[in-house]
Structures are given as C-alpha cells and as structure tokens.
Chain A
Amino acid sequence: MTQPPSRAPRYGRLFWTLLPVGALLIARGVLGLLRQAASTAPASWLGWFLGGLLAHDLLLAPSIFAVGLAIRRLPTSLRPPVRAALIVSGTLVLMSVPLLLGYGRATQPGNTSVLPDDYPANLIIVLVAIWIIAGACALRGLARSRTARLHEGPAPRDRPKD
C-alpha cells in the first residue's frame, strides 16, 4: 500500500509479553465453550463465528466498495454529504434488520411490550431526517463552490484517481 517500508510493524518486547496473555484468554474461552457444549452448541457457534467473517469480507465489504464506486460518479461537492449520509443510514438499517423482520414478537405472542413500535415507519422517518441534513449540507457545498467560481474563476479540477 502507500506506507513506506520503515513503518512495517516491528514486533518488540510488548508483542512477546502480550502474546501469551492473549493466548491464555483465548484458551480460556475455547475451553469454556467446549466444556459447556450443551448450551454453546459448538458447531452452530463456529458457523456463526466464521459466517460473520465471511459475510463481511466477501459480501458486505465488496458491496460497500461498489457503492463507493457509484459515489465517484457524483459531482465532487456532492460526494462528502452523500458518503456520510450513506454511512449513517447504512449502519442504522443494519442494526434495525431484526426490528424490521419482527421475529422477536413471535417468541412471546401477546406480549405488547416486546418490539412495541412500527419500526419500518420509524426507520423511514429517521432516514428522511438524515437525508434532509445531508441535502442541506450538499446545497451549502454547491452554493459555496459556485461563489468560489464566481470570485476566482473556474474551480480546480477534481484530483485524478490515485
């Protein structure tokens, strides 16, 4: 990548001191997991453990990358607010998936205090608010770049890709 070779991690005394400490903690976790196999269901556990890793590295990260490419087609001044709004709304949507599916209500039928809200409606309101803020920022950016152009002539070209 971009960093010079002199920044390559050096493994000093701290690394060799913390390595056995961390390894002990990991060993305790693995042992506990196996000892209580009746309630930890190690096969299912491992599936979720590695599944999350693969889902992130092979699905989520490439999708974010694709969205990032799409953002590059936007005018320069629009990119920052759009990027920020996507980051905020994307994480909120991810966190809300179980609320949107609402499967939790089925675990206690009749309990009106479990997932009591209309989450799709609430999420839409929150997302609209986020994009209104992003829109306001974008408008301000556009206005600013227009003023700059009026005063200083043509705006400098967008930096070429690395």
Chain B
Amino acid sequence: MPPAGRLSFSSRIHHERTSTLLGIALGIAFTVCFGTGLLSHAAQTPIPWFPWPSRPAWLYQVTQGLHVFTGLATIPLLLGKLWAVYPRLWRWPPLRGAAHAVERAALVPLVGGALFLLVTGVTEIDYWYPYRFFFKTAHFWAAWITFGALVIHVGATATVTASGLRDRQATAPTTREGLDRRRFLLAVAAAGGAIALTTVGSAVTPLRRLAVLAPRHPDVGPQGLPVNHQARDVGVPDVRADPGYRLRVRGRVTRPVELSLQDLRARPSREVELPISCVEGWSYSARWRGIRLRDLLAEAGADPRGDVIVRSLQTRGPYAGARIDAAHARDPDTLLALTVNGAPLHLDHGFPLRLIAPNSAGVLQTKWVTEVEAL
C-alpha cells in the first residue's frame, strides 16, 4: 500500500455507507438523465416504433428540464462519490482475480463517461464549445458507454451495496464518524440543492428571480423572450419590407397553395398558449396567434397521414428545416404563428411566420417559415 494510504484519509468519510448512499443517488440521477436523453432524441428524430406524441403539450418541457437540471444537481453527487471512493483507486494489490479486473476496467468508462457527460453538458448549456465534436452526437454516444458501464458496476457492487445499507451502526449519529458522514452527505445534498435553486428558474417561471447562475432567463430577450439564433447569424434576409415574401404549400398536394403576408394576415386565426422548450433546459410559455397548419394542409389536399417538412428562409445552421410528424402537423394547436403575446413576431423570433407545435423540442419550432412540403 502506498504510504499515503494510512496517513492521509480519514475513515470517516471514505466509508462504504457514504459511497453506497451516494452511489444509489447517482445511479438514479444517471438513469433519469439517460432516459430523458433518449426521449429527447426520440422527440427530435422520428423513430417509427416510438412515435413522439403531440400531447400533453408540456411533456417535452418537463422531460428536458429534468434532464438538464438533474444533470446539474448531479455534479456534487459525482464529486462526493469520487471523493468517498478515491482511496480505493490506490488500493494494493490493484487486482484480485478476473472478475475484479473486469469491475475495475469498467470504472474507466464509468468515471470518464460521467465526467465527460457533466462537463460537456455544462459547457453546452453555457454556449461554450471548446471541443471539435458536435455536442449532440458526442454526448449521446458517451451516454450509452457510461450507462453500459453503470450496469456492469451495479452488478459488481450489489453485494457491497446491500451490506452498506444494512450497516445500521454506521448511521448512528452518536459516534463522531456517524456525525461526520451525515454532515458530509448533507453538505453534498445542500450543494445539489444550491445548484438547482440558482438555475431551475430558467424553466420554472415562479423561481425565475432565483436563477442567478442560469445561462438564460425566460423573460430576457426581444419581446421579453429568449432567442437562440438571431436572424443575421443564420443568414436570414430582412423580409420586413419585402413584398415578395410568400408561404408555399407544395409536395404531395392536389392544390398547391401560395400566400402573401397580406393573405396570411387576412385568414382566420387562432390563439394558443404553448411553451418553447429548448434542449438546453430553459423554457417559456407565450400566447401565439396564427393559422392552423392542418387547415393549410387540408386546403392543399395533402395526405392526412403524411409527415411534412417545414423550411425556413435561413441559409445557414442545422435547423433550416424540420421534419414534423403527422401527429404534430395535424394537432389543432399547431400553428404557423404571426404574433406572440399580441405583437407581430420580432425578426429574431421568426418574422414573418414561425412554427409552434405542442410537445416539441425548440429546435423543431422552425422560424422564418417560407415553405411547407407535404410528404
């Protein structure tokens, strides 16, 4: 055993029960993040055997909020857990048999993956991309690797976990050790709570004043709403004074439709209250007024079971168009919106026309819509 072992680590915190309790909390947190992450991918990329529903309207807001804020609150859990088991990293002999070797080998993808997911997740929501990979794909595959390692780890430590939970004596706060362990766990929980309190207001509006460490505020931006891509950043021409703007409904339709801005404004409109829910966890609700997508599709004679592609005027960026599945396209609340909260859309919110659909990821709520292609 290296000389540091006995001298340096108090047995109070580096105890099995501490690491067991933190491990269970971490296991739950990572399972929540993995599950909600898979749901987010299903919401963005249609999966034939797992259609993402258009109802309830708030579902994506909740699953993605859970994903991001659970991930953030996991930071102290992970650091606390690693601290509790750190001495074991230097345990001697390093390997005791084949099974132990497998268990230790799985720690590399487990710990490396967990740190990778938290670090890339935090930098991504803060719009900082200090890496060469595309966040979504890299984070997605890292999650599979980490979760696989977690499954192996759970199998390898089930016995220890059970004995850690049975260790009643260790919980007794009468001993100094028990007190110190309890205080350590409380401090880790307090750190998670402090992170949640200072960030979650970017999605939970009543707490917005507390969101002092959140990268977004649900009420800061043009028209009091956040913007993720400005018109000029994605190459949208300024159409505010352009009489040539048209919305076209084409593709597999019997009667193609072409509407000018005046035509759009003259049509019967509908007002809905729906959230924009960003993959980055923040969300806000607003009142949108516009024309129903399903009315337009019916007028053009599109197949009611078909998906549609909504295309934007934007010339750059990965979200210049979005494939909208039939359920979302035919939802009575899915609009091509002309106004938000009673005023015409700001150019950065998608003037003249943006898609707004219930239970949809923000990246699919295409702005500056100019074409609807029926498939």
Chain A residues with a Cβ under 8 A of chain B = 1-3, 7-12, 14-19, 21-30, 32-33, 36, 39-41, 44-45, 48-50, 52-53, 55-57, 60-61, 64-65, 69, 80, 83-84, 87-88, 90-92, 94-96, 98-99, 101, 103-105, 107-108, 110-117, 119, 122-123, 125-126, 130, 159, 161-162
Instruction: Please measure, in the bound complex, the distance between the C-alpha atom of A102 and the C-alpha atom of B141, giving whole angstroms.
Output: 27
Contacts of A26 in B (CB 8 A): 109, 144-145, 148-149
Q: Is B245 an interface residue (CB 8 A)?
A: no
Contacts of B155 in A (CB 8 A): 14-19, 22
Q: Is there contact, CB below 8 Å, between A12 and B158?
A: yes
Segment of B7-15, B262-270, B289-297, B361-369 in the binding face: B7-15
Known: A12-B159, A26-B149, A32-B141. A40 touches B154 (CB 8 A): no
Q: Is there contact, CB below 8 Å, between B144 and A44?
A: no
Instruction: Please measure, in the bound complex, the distance between the C-alpha atom of A113 and the C-alpha atom of B106, giving whole angstroms.
Output: 41
Contacts of B230 in A (CB 8 A): 108, 110-111
Q: Is there contact, CB below 8 Å, between A22 and B127?
A: no
Q: Is there contact, CB below 8 Å, between B217 and A116?
A: yes
Known: A12-B159, A91-B191. A41 touches B216 (CB 8 A): no
Contacts of A45 in B (CB 8 A): 131, 133, 138, 142
Cβ contact of A98, chosen from B79, B91, B126, B198, cutoff 8 A:
B126
Q: Is there contact, CB below 8 Å, between A41 and B11?
A: no
CB distance from B328 to the nearest CB of A (A): 26
Q: Please give 10 more A-B residue pairs, beta carbons under 8 A apart, in addition to A33-B142, A84-B183, A88-B190.
A: A21-B148, A22-B151, A26-B149, A30-B141, A33-B138, A45-B138, A91-B191, A98-B123, A98-B126, A111-B348
Q: Is there contact, CB below 8 Å, between A29 and B75?
A: no
Contacts of A48 in B (CB 8 A): 116, 119-120, 131
CB distance from A156 to the nearest CB of B (A): 10
Q: Is B315 an interface residue (CB 8 A)?
A: no
Q: Is there contact, CB below 8 Å, between A161 and B10?
A: yes
Instruction: Please measure, in the bound complex, the distance between the C-alpha atom of A8 and the C-alpha atom of B159, giving whole angstroms.
Output: 9
Q: Is there contact, CB below 8 Å, between B226 and A30?
A: no
Residues facing A in B1-59 (CB within 8 A) are 5-6, 8, 10-11, 14-16
Contacts of A22 in B (CB 8 A): 106, 148-153, 155
Instruction: Please measure, in the bound complex, the distance between the C-alpha atom of A26 and the C-alpha atom of B152, giving whole angstroms.
Output: 10
Most buried by B among A3, A22, A60, A110: A22
Binding site secondary structure of chain B: helix
Q: Is there contact, CB below 8 Å, between A64 and B111?
A: no
Contacts of A69 in B (CB 8 A): 8
Q: Is there contact, CB below 8 Å, between B154 and A91?
A: no
Contacts of B148 in A (CB 8 A): 21-29
Q: Is there contact, CB below 8 Å, between A113 and B194?
A: no
Q: Is there contact, CB below 8 Å, between B11 and A9?
A: no
What are 27 A-B contacts defined by CB distance under 8 Å? A2-B15, A14-B155, A18-B151, A22-B106, A25-B147, A26-B149, A29-B141, A41-B131, A49-B142, A50-B112, A56-B82, A60-B79, A61-B86, A84-B190, A87-B76, A88-B190, A91-B191, A92-B195, A98-B123, A103-B126, A104-B215, A107-B129, A111-B227, A111-B348, A112-B220, A113-B222, A116-B216
